Amino acid sequence: MNDSQYHQMTDDLLIDIEEMLDECEVDIDYESAGSILTMTFINGTKIIINKQPP
């Protein structure tokens, strides 16, 4: 896998996660900024997913 393939795969994965969150019946707020996806749950807990270089 080259760098370009890696970046495409991780970008696609972040988009897939966003689409799943939109379809999810649980109320999870999310914000996407560049290569960072921040999910905020009802109790205030946050999960941050970010893309790291290969």
Query: DSSP 3-state assignment of 26?
Result: coil
Question: Taking 90 as the threshold, does the pLDDT of residue 22 lie above it?
Answer: yes
Q: Please tell me the distance from the alpha carbon of residue 22 to that of residue 24, in angstroms, as a whole number.
A: 6
Tally the residues of the chain: 54
> Is 0.85 topped by the overall pTM?
no
Tell me: the pLDDT tens digits for 26-41?
A: 899 999 998 899 999 9
- Helix ranges restricted to H, 1-54: 3-23
25: DSSP letter: S
Number of folded domains that form the chain: 1
Residue-number span of the structural domain to which 41 is assigned: 3-50
Question: Taking 90 as the threshold, does the pLDDT of residue 53 lie above it?
Answer: no
- CATH for 36: 3.30.920.10
Residue with the two structure tokens 């972040």: 14
pLDDT value, residue 37: 96
